[in-house]
Structure 1
Amino acid sequence: MIPFDEGRARALLAKACSAAGLPDPADARLLALSENAVFDLGGPAVVAKVGRGPELSERARRESEVAHWLAGRGIPVVRPFDGAVPGPQVADGHPVTFWHRLAPAVRPARPADLAPLLRALHGLEAPPFALGRRDLLAPVGRWLASAEGHVDPADVAFLRDREASFAAAVAALTPHLTPGVIHGDALPRNVHVGPDGPVLLDLETVSADLREHDLVVLALSHDRYGVSAEDYRAFTDGYGWDVRDWPGFAVLRGARETASASWVAQQVPGNPAAAAEFRRRVDSLRDAATTVRWYPF
């Protein structure tokens, strides 16, 4: 398997830009490297997202469709770049999408900026196209397989057991909120505060499912990633409800933790910091240590 690193992502980006009629991206600046490699192309005001593998092709296509729909419903979202050939480009099987670069942020996004965006999103009716469920745990096997030979097989077995257990428990939950459109990865890092206000980013996981999914993310961030009690309270006040009051909270939190620990596995090959974070997350799950600090990747 060819490793998905910056060099590989740049080669795929060059092929996609050529096919889309965009300039040679030799000077593109890497912004992020995880499930996607994200590049600022510089000259054209365009950001490109290069998918880690062909299995992300349908998700990339749907993200563009979702972005057009949400913009049409008045939700401030990042917009696909219409100067490129419509829809994702395919480079050696990898999906590549192009997006308008946003104006520079006026300040970092805060949890309170996310709350009104989620309220507006959760108020929408279903779109005129199908949205899938927010299956948090579906990619766990793929993420763990990508780290084969680099992580302890006992840790893989532990996470796969959690995956099966929580998948069944999530399916049996009774929601407090009416299910419907959700973002699926509702974090302040997926909000950009520009001159015209907050804009919602990273629409790949927009789904039709329990709206509690979008609220558990911030609760877990308060417990695990250092979001302060004050910022968390500003979020719940802005949204109007605290998901921790819901009897299903622990189940959805446990599913999210399982997915989050497994997600780091794909970063482990060649990355000692990712290996240490994977170890920290798995150990805290084994010990049921629910307040051990985790660190973003």
Structure 2
Amino acid sequence: MTQPGEQISSADVLARAAALARVDARGAVRIREGSHVIFELPNGVVARIGESGSYQVAQRELCISRWLNQNGIETVRAADDISQPTVVGDRPVTWWTLIPDHRPSTPGELGSMLRKLHTLTPPTEFPLPSYAPFDGLRERLESAAAIDEADRSWLLTQYVQLRQRYDDIDDPLPPCVIHGDAWQGNLVVPPSGHPIVLDLDNVSMGWREWDLVQLAVDYTDFQRISDNEYRGFVAAYGGYDVTRWASYRVLADIQELRWVAFAASRSDASSAAASEASHRIACVRGLVPRPWTWQAL
């Protein structure tokens, strides 16, 4: 039995959860490590291991998957024959059906899905939280051990200023159902051609602009997509171009500060993460001209 405060590896969490759920995890391969640790199992199951204390988030993900599929938006599906979430210590493990041979969505496919998502009537069977863009952000900046103190001071000042600018925004439209992490890799397309939504833990009630800003900064600040691809995204969404909204830059700066904080939070774990964090900080401080190139972590 796991004792309170005991730290065990994600591989051990998987092994213990698999034993409890009677899932064969032999030969499991770690495919991602971030807010969730994700393993692919050889029997067509994907295990998502949540952070400590995130049991309710895991429960909500399962409910959201069922609800969205019932409302015409296809998502990754939970493995029906496994009781879940499975809990090891205070870390929940959810089990999902593998989506083989898929590609990231095009900007147009992402825009179409978001247009449909944002028109849904919120669920009545369970509550959706309000989107909270600053949750955990200050803590990540304060606790990152491997960043320069001058950089930390600048980032914390930027955090305070962005909170004030955000509070001063006139609400654009009433909150709607949003994905909360809407980028092309979270909408994948298998050979069937029907896009499938992934990573449901941030689905919430919030401004639609939060779902539009990620692809927009890919276009304006990183040039990861072309003019034609961005115009296709705008057209598929219904013609609304978030980059023309008066408060676009506020949301863009908040989103980029979150990406900086993520890299900073991992900077003490590897030299590559530390180097990437330093580069991202230099970018947002104006020391590197746009378009920027940031490496995934």
1:113 deviates by 1.4
**Distance change >3 Å, CA 248–CA 193, structure 1 → 2:** same
> Any idea what SS the aligned residue of 1:274 has?
helix
Count of residue pairs the alignment pairs up: 288
**Distance change >3 Å, CA 123–CA 171, structure 1 → 2:** same
Report the Cα distance in structure 1 between the residues aligned to 2:115 and 2:92, rounded to whole angstroms: 31
> Any idea what SS the aligned residue of 1:77 has?
coil
Q: Deviations over 1:219-255 (max 9, x none)?
A: 1112226222222221111112110111110111111
| Contact 1:177/1:212 (8 A) holds in 2 | no
TM-score, normalization by structure 1: 0.89
Q: Does 1:151 align with 2:147?
A: yes
Q: Which amino acid aligns with 1:36?
A: H
Residue in structure 1 matched with residue 291 of structure 2 by the alignment:
291
1:279 deviates by 0.7
- Segments of structure 1 that go 5 or more residues without pairing to the other structure are none
Question: Which of 180, 191, 196 lines up with 1:195 in the alignment?
Answer: 191
1:146 deviates by 5.4
Report the Cα distance in structure 1 between the residues aligned to 2:128 and 2:6, rounded to whole angstroms: 31
Q: Does 1:276 align with 2:275?
A: yes
> Any idea what SS the aligned residue of 2:47 has?
strand
Q: Which amino acid aligns with 2:14?
A: L
1:103 deviates by 3.7
1:193 deviates by 0.3
| Contact 2:104/2:186 (8 A) holds in 1 | no
Q: Does 1:221 align with 2:213?
A: no
Residue in structure 1 matched with residue 70 of structure 2 by the alignment:
72
Of all paired residues, the percent bearing the same amino acid is: 32
> Any idea what SS the aligned residue of 1:224 has?
coil
Residue in structure 2 matched with residue 50 of structure 1 by the alignment:
49
1:210 deviates by 0.5
Report the Cα distance in structure 1 between the residues aligned to 2:89 and 2:150, rounded to whole angstroms: 34
- Segments of structure 2 that go 5 or more residues without pairing to the other structure are none
| Contact 1:219/1:243 (8 A) holds in 2 | yes
Report the Cα distance in structure 2 between the residues aligned to 1:168 and 1:253, rounded to whole angstroms: 15
Residue in structure 1 matched with residue 258 of structure 2 by the alignment:
259
Residue in structure 1 matched with residue 175 of structure 2 by the alignment:
179
Q: Does 1:98 align with 2:99?
A: no
Residue in structure 1 matched with residue 35 of structure 2 by the alignment:
35
RMSD across aligned C-alpha pairs, in angstroms?
Answer: 2.1
Q: Does 1:245 align with 2:241?
A: no
| Contact 1:175/1:248 (8 A) holds in 2 | no
Report the Cα distance in structure 1 between the residues aligned to 2:246 and 2:293, rounded to whole angstroms: 24
Residue in structure 1 matched with residue 16 of structure 2 by the alignment:
15
Report the Cα distance in structure 1 between the residues aligned to 2:26 and 2:32, rounded to whole angstroms: 16
Moved over 4 A (4+): 1-4
Report the Cα distance in structure 1 between the residues aligned to 2:269 and 2:7, rounded to whole angstroms: 10
Report the Cα distance in structure 1 between the residues aligned to 2:82 and 2:52, rounded to whole angstroms: 20
Report the Cα distance in structure 1 between the residues aligned to 2:91 and 2:149, rounded to whole angstroms: 28
